[in-house]
Amino acid sequence: MSRSSRPLNRILLLVLGIAWLAAGAWLVLRQALPDALAPVQPALDAAAALQPLGIPLDWAIASAAAGGALLVLAIVHTATRGRGRTGDAAVAGSVVVDRAAVRDVLRQELGDHPDVLDVSVQPWRRRRAAAWRVVVHTRTGAALDRVVDRAAEAARATRDALGTDAPILVHIAGGLRAAVASDRRAA
């Protein structure tokens, strides 16, 4: 439900992080140990794009400009992530239904199924249309066919109870919560 891929986001963040670390290390070395960089400074000056034009290059200004460009790129990247998420699962006129209410109705519709540990709901808004992502956390070794059928029926019943036509994506998940969950017992 996002317009960009997660690996692309991670790669971009990794590249930006490495660039910021390199720029910071360069500035610290330049200030702390200027003599250590003296052997490589002529090579860097010769490789600079402005040097053949006869314009003297100030590395502090070049570093600040590169850092500023990276900062703008990082801000633009961060500002464009996560669009569409909302806390409002359904809006009908002045009535707003929160995602926690949808989760509670969904839990009630699922009933007391022994393989279902938890349910979470994430509403999305895309081109003024609502959609829900429902994650049903199950135990390890759960009868998934029964859980899927029950979750699909609960999603339909929840949508009907709230009077909305929002599409619902049901995701069945396991993982750490399923591995460490204890059996339900009557006290």
Q: Provide the 10 A C-beta neighbour count for residue 144.
A: 13
Please answer whether residues 73 and 16 qualify as being in contact, where contact means their C-beta atoms are separated by less than 8 angstroms.
yes
Residues 6+ apart with CB under 8 A from 76: none
**Is the per-residue pLDDT at 1 higher than 50?**
no
For the chain, list the strands marked E by DSSP. Answer: 88-92, 95-98, 116-126, 129-138, 168-173
Whole-model pTM over 0.85: no
Q: Which two tokens stand for residue 33?
A: 């140990």
Kindly report, residue by residue over 150-185, the tens digit of the pLDDT.
888 888 888 887 777 778 888 888 766 555 555 554
Q: What is the phi/psi pair of residue 162, to 5°?
A: -90, -10
Please answer whether residues 104 and 162 qualify as being in contact, where contact means their C-beta atoms are separated by less than 8 angstroms.
no
pLDDT at 84: 66
Q: Provide the 10 A C-beta neighbour count for residue 162.
A: 16
Kindly report, residue by residue over 35-56, the tens digit of the pLDDT.
887 787 777 666 655 555 666 6
